[in-house]
Structure 1
């Protein structure tokens, strides 16, 4: 890990705190088991919510390859503390389930990932009942979604992005109109000849069409994120923004690699760009974006982008179209 500042006591973090406010205490319950007939292993989720508040929106979170419902606390706990009911499934590619690249079931994981998120929405009564004191405090009609890496690919399916078939034509529409907006964190870009042979063989979903991504979306990319899956540079992770009509905003984190400062977990070994300030800024900017996406009258996103432009030019930049 690089020698980066071990502090979030910075001007930009304080400025963004003025926008998103202080957090509430959070209660988290796991595992919560949902019905998933035919799934290779049972579907378990984690539910995190603030202990107070009414009309709380729902935030679905899809983890990156190998992780589980126990990951990504730097983001999920923060979002919950700022008023979201965050639900995290353990997808079939989790290391705890042992379904690896050579497992014959692996080829269906990318569609099962999307199905996991739909199951959560379909069974939200069970989700809500699992958390003491949460019943009656959730607005199930306001749903957003976020995901990292493979999780971002999973979420973009809900937002409208499709997968190109062998003839180069967009495949099945997996969009879910219950989802109002999304955040794509380090989302992989186009496939084709620039995709390395391993990825072409094992990851058929790495051939997206973003033309159908029409749901409001914030794309987040690190300008030092060099994937082993593609010969493209860090710009590969901006394809959803460049080509997705609904992806109207791009947050570029300067110096950010694939873990974007450490979002998979605190002190996770896979973080190559550990930077608590970067994570803190990402926490707050995504919160502001999602609040604005759910309520057009909410000015949090405009205030947050202005704060970054004025105080945080060393850490990132927001582009809009």
Structure 2
């Protein structure tokens, strides 16, 4: 709990003064399908472990829309009224969920529950680190989804009744992007309605099963996962998809508040999530405009108009 409060305090400091993540003085109205929330929520954060006694215990950090009140991010804050779509967020190699909090908390403030697992063999503190374990992480993502489906009906749990478990997206950065792609295989549940691959690519068997729109985001000068890898995955995706490129940028500096391209990346992701998980057509129509800034971003799109 002490670490959770420290992370919340640090993220709150990062978010201070940012309109996209600033809580309103009163709670927004409960969300409805067809129109995503337009006001920002305060953000709560909690942690739990999936399968704590199993061979692959999975610690999970969850950010969620909370009732109004300072600070912006509060451990175990009361959940806001309504049901919220869910985003499964996967970290990269030698990383942790809390290192992505400046991004994921903004998604929670926009009306999404973000559940981020700490993968057992690829996280920053893993005792037996191995990059080959990425191939097992899509199954971890599905374990988490099944856990959230059960949790939504668990009497007494703060999130029970607040999870729209029929409206789920998967997202991830770097190895987490490959993990995300690997969740979209033949026979995957239609609960998983969209995917966001940040500086990643496809895994064997990716992009099969029920239709799920995809968003790819990649730096044009990425030295770790070349942009060509991401574009190859985009070209292979059989569903509606878009590719947001940041020419001259590397492996993820555009995910850091204050860096060039961050406003466009954040706005594009939120438009995409609002469209795919809230069925908000206005967000889909805004996306091409929000995505592009001459000299900073370029957008290639096969999304419907």
Q: TM-score range by the shorter chain?
A: 0.7 to 0.9
- Deviations along 1:22-47, whole A, 9 cap, x unmatched? 421100012x011166425x211001
Q: CA deviation at 1:262?
A: 4.0
- Corresponding residue number in structure 1 for 2:275: 292
Please point out which of 224, 233, 244 is paired with 1:251.
244
Task: Determine the C-alpha separation between the residues in 2 that align with 1:284 and 1:131.
Answer: 35
- Corresponding residue number in structure 1 for 2:220: 223
- Corresponding residue number in structure 1 for 2:299: 318
Task: Determine the C-alpha separation between the residues in 1 that align with 2:63 and 2:262.
Answer: 19
- Number of residues of Structure 1 aligned to a counterpart in Structure 2: 257
- Deviations along 1:137-163, whole A, 9 cap, x unmatched? 221111111011111111111123xxx
SS of the residue aligned with 1:299?
A: helix
Judged with a 3 Å threshold, the aligned counterparts in structure 2 of structure 1 residues 132 and 25 are, in CA distance, closer, same or farther, namely farther
Task: Determine the C-alpha separation between the residues in 1 that align with 2:187 and 2:93.
Answer: 20
- Corresponding residue number in structure 1 for 2:115: 87
- Deviations along 1:257-290, whole A, 9 cap, x unmatched? 1114245xx7xxxxxxxx5342232122101101
Name structure 2 gaps, 5 residues minimum. 1-16, 21-35, 67-79
1:181 equivalent in alignment to 2:210: no
**TM-score using structure 1 length:** 0.70
Task: Determine the C-alpha separation between the residues in 2 that align with 1:28 and 1:211.
Answer: 31
Name structure 1 gaps, 5 residues minimum. 1-8, 14-18, 161-172, 190-204, 267-274
1:100 equivalent in alignment to 2:115: no
1:159 equivalent in alignment to 2:156: no
1:235 equivalent in alignment to 2:231: no
Task: Determine the C-alpha separation between the residues in 2 that align with 1:209 and 1:140.
Answer: 24
- Corresponding residue number in structure 2 for 1:271: none
- Corresponding residue number in structure 1 for 2:62: 47
**TM-score using structure 2 length:** 0.73
1:150 equivalent in alignment to 2:197: no
Judged with a 3 Å threshold, the aligned counterparts in structure 2 of structure 1 residues 176 and 99 are, in CA distance, closer, same or farther, namely farther
Task: Determine the C-alpha separation between the residues in 2 that align with 1:290 and 1:131.
Answer: 29
Please point out which of 17, 35, 39 is paired with 2:51.
35
Q: CA deviation at 1:96?
A: 1.0
1:120 equivalent in alignment to 2:147: no
1:277-288 equivalences under 5 Å are 277-288=260-271
RMSD across aligned positions (CA): 3.2
